Structure 1
């Protein structure tokens, strides 16, 4: 191989050597954009019915006759726009581990032991569902990106998942720990970068959570006025989502569901305290500033999406499809108000909120899966409700906003 000087290096006016003719790339790049080839999801079998959950929670935790506390929880459940959620924490779990039925008893070791076991299992289930739709062997996977806020272990959860799947030892892994609800958008963004880093790269991206394990605890007078405690109990569910990403589809073997053209991550200045999670002896304790997150979205979302919209000629938001993380019903309302779009434009997000609640990092990926299914059910021409372009919007602590510009494909 020719040396640096032999390839035509010259000295510029600042005394630095610059190549006149750079050496050709050793690893060829793909020609086209990243595609989403498959989506798989998975949830634990136990379902929380929102209407009966307050009484059930009180019974599981041995809470006495406290009607004001019960009525507050019932009101929040009834107005949450959630009908059911999936959970790892069951009556049997609470009976076996009574520290769960406390507010402050030491339980972190128990919770982590459980989460470190079930999160890789549910992630593998979602991944295998995606691989089944993809139709290609696991040996084709070259990269993996994993996000979770529910585990702490060495080696990390990404390593455990890779071994359980039987991936090649040479698969290049990236693990995003403690990212919260924006993790789904983050694995999409990083997965796109990896998919476009080398020809024939195939990236498995996974977001998986066991929120109920880390957040379940007894309601007490101490928590009566803490809206964050009640929101954790009212909105959070468990589950995992996995996608297969790659560029230049293999003819007759891969069919895109969406194409990805642009992504961004923005941490909103001055909003770091809006949502905070702290590990304590009693598990993960959430802190949420009331009404701050909707205000942040209302002030910043339109400006953040404008950069991506300009790339495609600045279409009207009503002419695009929207895959929005449904952290709570007020989030979806603010997105509709800010972007001046009807509630129906966010129907897949509302449907996921209704049937799964807020699963944290996987939630926007559940919405993406529902978007293509909803589009097909309603007879739309494309996987984006008949629209050509759309945004995936991930939101979470930081306060971070993750955006991915998507191109739908015809059915």
Structure 2
């Protein structure tokens, strides 16, 4: 190949001797950091959640008594119907009677409480993240010193230095671990960290990425019931669906034979910010905490209009399998979301069963929820004696959905059990 001429760099490189640039381009030195040969893989997964449980069938009584509005029987009856129709049996929360006693401002609707909420979240989010990360690393079976990268996401805590650095120091990660922190992703955060971690794992041979997503949704959203907002998204999400928890994964390419066993292979990822959809679901941080609002009907329209096309690009890469032959790990933001996804891609409810199970037992934990569903897919496959970690299917999608309106998609390949 002929060396590039001096003129070929004209207009591209300025302020640099172009003969020197041409010489650099011709150097025989290849990549200083070799690439892995295979795709990124999920090598370990774990979840964690606070011990305090919200029992959905009695929550209406406890909430109204706690907020001193128990005598509003009409409003409580309406709220009970919302809880009863949520398809949730229980959720987990960081909020305790002790916290409410110490911070009565949390029991109002509009009193200033953001400082209190931040202080609580900045304490509990690193703690639950540490718990999930330790469990994932123990399953992986390697020392923390082998971690080269860390990706963390949350919408609940805000601090300087960031929560990612707090977690890294709690874990004792090496100071040179390369960290990336995502704030304010909302429900699509679990899908985003998968996409980013896959890219990092495939940039250097031997890279091992620790992924952590943690939320304290009830801390940021809890407030007294209000007649004017009960049927709006902020009232519904805060009191009928949101829970707290954390998920952690270890991701890396080229698993070491007989030392690392992949759970899923990761082949392709993408993100889509649906045009003209900013109003569909959004949040606003105020002195009274986080208020969320949205249009449930529009969410359904967006999913129905865009999801099939969104997933088609990944399917083409693996021979266009039928959706019914794939496994589906979907963010269970609400039961209607799962119904809409199943309808949009033409699969039966059973195909999304791990997501339904997570919704039933944990509610919507925002970012970590689709990763809980991924772990449940693996566990359910084992319990039922399936041939692969995808309930017998070879390929599947992990789908994150959330404010923006954003959709995150990762194409996975299951492994034999």
TM-score in terms of structure 2 length: 0.95
Does structure 1 retain, via aligned residues, the 8 Å contact 2:70–2:76?
Answer: no
CA displacement at 1:291 relative to structure 2? 1.3
| Counterpart check, 1:71 vs 2:66 | no
CA displacement at 1:223 relative to structure 2? 2.1
Match of 2:259 in 1: 253
Written as runs of structure 1 = structure 2, the 5 A alignment for 1:8-23 is 8-11=3-6, 15=10, 19=25, 23=29
CA displacement at 1:173 relative to structure 2? 0.2
Match of 2:128 among 114, 118, 122: 122
Match of 2:346 in 1: 340
CA deviations over 1:120-166 (Å, ceiling 9, x no partner):
00000000010110000000000000000001100000000000000
The 3 A distance-change label for structure 1 pair 322 and 22 is: farther
Match of 1:325 in 2: 331
Match of 1:204 in 2: 210
The list of structure 1 runs, each at least 4 consecutive aligned residues, that deviate by more than 6 angstroms after superposition, is none
Helix, strand or coil for the counterpart of 1:368?
helix
Give distance in 2, aligned partners of 1:59 and 1:95: 14
CA displacement at 1:290 relative to structure 2? 3.1
CA deviations over 1:370-402 (Å, ceiling 9, x no partner):
001101111110000000000000010000000
| Counterpart check, 1:107 vs 2:102 | no
Match of 2:310 among 295, 304, 310: 304
TM-score in terms of structure 1 length: 0.96
Helix, strand or coil for the counterpart of 1:106?
coil
Match of 2:47 among 38, 41, 65: 41
CA displacement at 1:67 relative to structure 2? 1.7
Give distance in 1, aligned partners of 2:64 and 2:399: 35
The 3 A distance-change label for structure 1 pair 224 and 345 is: closer
Match of 2:183 in 1: 177
| Counterpart check, 1:390 vs 2:396 | yes
Q: Give unmatched runs, 5+ long, in structure 2.
A: 13-17
| Counterpart check, 1:155 vs 2:150 | no
CA deviations over 1:79-109 (Å, ceiling 9, x no partner):
0000000001122221221001000011000
Give distance in 2, aligned partners of 1:235 and 1:116: 22
Give distance in 1, aligned partners of 2:141 and 2:117: 36
Give distance in 1, aligned partners of 2:28 and 2:401: 40
CA displacement at 1:300 relative to structure 2? 0.4
| Range moving further from structure 2, 261-270 or 229-238 | 229-238
Match of 2:282 among 272, 276, 280: 276
Give distance in 2, aligned partners of 1:132 and 1:8: 52
Q: Give unmatched runs, 5+ long, in structure 1.
A: 1-6
Give distance in 2, aligned partners of 1:54 and 1:239: 22
| Counterpart check, 1:131 vs 2:137 | yes
The size of the alignment, in residue pairs, is 405
Helix, strand or coil for the counterpart of 1:41?
strand
The 3 A distance-change label for structure 1 pair 22 and 59 is: farther
Give distance in 1, aligned partners of 2:139 and 2:81: 41
Give distance in 1, aligned partners of 2:364 and 2:45: 18
Helix, strand or coil for the counterpart of 2:159?
coil
Give distance in 2, aligned partners of 1:277 and 1:371: 30
Match of 1:358 in 2: 364
The 3 A distance-change label for structure 1 pair 222 and 316 is: same
| Counterpart check, 1:190 vs 2:196 | yes
Give distance in 2, aligned partners of 1:167 and 1:219: 43
Give distance in 2, aligned partners of 1:257 and 1:290: 34
CA deviations over 1:216-267 (Å, ceiling 9, x no partner):
0001233244243123210000000000000011122100000000000000
CA displacement at 1:14 relative to structure 2? 6.9
| Range moving further from structure 2, 74-83 or 16-25 | 16-25
Give distance in 2, aligned partners of 1:43 and 1:362: 10
Helix, strand or coil for the counterpart of 1:86?
strand
